[in-house]
Structure 1
Amino acid sequence: MASKKRNDTALLAARAGRYGECTPPPPLRRYFCRLWSHALHDGPPAMVAIVPDGYCDLLWIDGRLVVAGPDRTAAFPVLRPGATVVGARFAPGAAAAWLKTPLSALVGRLVPLADIGWKDAAEFEARLGDCRGPSAAMALFGRLLEEAIRDEDEPARDAAIIFAAADSGRPVSGPFGRLGMSERQLRRRCHHHFGYGVKTLERIRRFQRFLNLCRSSDTMPLAGIALEAGFTDQAHMTREVGEFSSLTPAVILGQLSISKRPG
């Protein structure tokens, strides 16, 4: 569960270990947008902040396959030092069909795949448990997902359109109004595929634009980052970044940037 207080000692997940990702092989790309692994540092456990991004992930962690549902605010899971997590990030519109579960039922939850009733969970866990290391588990994870897609429904195309609009900063209601989708239909589809309403998805993707700017902008001050990301002003950015991460923009900028920047 996320803390509502600022906690400047928390580390963003990308700073708490070695994170790497890759594009899935062609058979998986309709259903998954990234395969990734995260090897945590050894040593004393750190408070790690997992921040919302609008996605749902399938994880292999501590010998189990689990679904990480979409988050509204930062989560602070207890992670074993030195552990490696292998994951597959669902493409927008793919998770609800794959899991046969609306994502509104999974918001803020980490749920064993077997508890959702996925028929191959126990078999896949046994096969992954025989792997001798993270790289072998990552390779097998991808192959198991390729086996699994033979029986899965096609991802919803409208969800990809919703996500792309939210990601770009354009009002999501624009393209759907032109397509004849009512506000109520849009809200229902958004809750089904992302776990929350359109406005929350738009805010989360704006927060992710802020994170990307922190990673890529060498000299831009925080006020400039706020406007470039789509916030009204720096105060607006500070409120929303705190809500989604429990951290201040300056702390996040310090964690993600390579060089010193004006604030």
Structure 2
Amino acid sequence: MVSKRPKDMALLAARAGRYHEYAPPPALRRHFSRLWSHRLNDGPPATVAIVPDGYCDLLWIDGRLEVAGPDRTAAFPVIGPGATVIGARFAPGAAASWLKTPLSALVGLSVPLADIGRKETSEFEARLRDCPEPTAAVALFGRLLEEAARHEEEPDRDAAVIFAAADSGRPAPGLPDRLGISERQLRRRCHHHFGYGAKTLERIRRFQRFLDVCRKAGTMPLARIALEAGFADQAHMTREVAELSTLTPAIILDQLGMRERSG
């Protein structure tokens, strides 16, 4: 279950437990950019903010496989204390083909994989349920994805170019010429592969650059962080960060600083 309304001051997901990322094995690198696991803290449940990043993920959570579609703004999932979530982040251009679904149909949603129609879903879920130990489940999850990947087509290369342009901060208007397509075709491809247009993807990836700068900022003032991340100024950063996360830049900087100080 996912709520879109923050109940109180939210914690970024990385601050609400132990989060680990893993490089996918070679057989998966065309289709997935990261494998990851996240064990939430024990104790009273916290309001956890999953902030947008431009990606779509496949999750093992609460005994079933789910697709977490791309988000435009922060999501606030209801996850029990001590729960472990295992995930695979699709590479740019891979999710729509793998799921046989345009990502515009999955924006802001968490959907059981069985509802999308992957024929191996029931078998994979049964095998994962027989593997309750989290470390072993992470390894099995990767092996199951490798089995499925054998039958998948190559991800769309144009989508990787579009994502890289947004990630680097290069403006979208030059993309149609680089790709040899029209503005309308670019819009269709963005909505198909990312769920929204190139400008929204740029905003989200700039927000992610802001998070990266915050992790390394130390005592850097907010005005400097805004420029390093690619915002026009501090006021622009404050507006964008609030719209995408519901939090202020100062709160995010404090949370990420706490994470770094605590190791």
Question: TM-score, normalized by length of structure 2?
Answer: 0.95
SS of equivalent to 1:35: strand
Structure 2, gaps ≥5 residues long:
none
- Does the Cα contact within 8 Å between 1:59 and 1:66 map onto a contact in 2? yes
Q: Paired residue for 2:91? A: 91
Q: Paired residue for 2:64? A: 64
Q: How much has 1:9 moved relative to structure 2? A: 1.6
Q: How much has 1:158 moved relative to structure 2? A: 0.2
Deviates more, 1:218-227 or 1:117-126: 218-227
Q: How much has 1:154 moved relative to structure 2? A: 1.2
Indicate whether 1:127 and 2:127 are aligned: yes
Q: Paired residue for 1:232? A: 232
Report 1:205-220 matches (<5 A): 205-220=205-220
Distance of 2:167 and 2:132 partners within structure 1: 38
Describe the shift of the 1:178–1:139 C-alpha distance in structure 2 as closer, same or farther (beyond 3 A). closer
Distance of 2:197 and 2:67 partners within structure 1: 20
SS of equivalent to 1:118: coil
Q: How much has 1:8 moved relative to structure 2? A: 6.4
Can you list the C-alpha shifts for 1:68-92, whole angstroms capped at 9, x where unaligned? 0000000111110000000000000
Can you list the C-alpha shifts for 1:18-55, whole angstroms capped at 9, x where unaligned? 00011000000000000000000000000000000000
- Does the Cα contact within 8 Å between 2:15 and 2:259 map onto a contact in 1? no
SS of equivalent to 1:164: helix
Distance of 1:37 and 1:190 partners within structure 2: 28
Distance of 1:258 and 1:17 partners within structure 2: 13
Runs of 4+ in 1 over 3 A off after TM superposition: none
- The amino acid across from 2:43 in the alignment is G
Distance of 1:87 and 1:17 partners within structure 2: 15
Q: How much has 1:132 moved relative to structure 2? A: 3.0
Can you list the C-alpha shifts for 1:142-184, whole angstroms capped at 9, x where unaligned? 0000000111121000000000000000013314323321111
Q: Paired residue for 1:24? A: 24
Structure 1, gaps ≥5 residues long:
none
Q: Paired residue for 1:47? A: 47
Q: Paired residue for 2:4? A: 2
Q: How much has 1:258 moved relative to structure 2? A: 4.3
What is the number of equivalent residue pairs in this alignment? 258
Q: Paired residue for 2:192? A: 192
Report 1:58-207 matches (<5 A): 58-207=58-207
Task: Supply the RMSD in Å over aligned alpha carbons.
Answer: 1.4
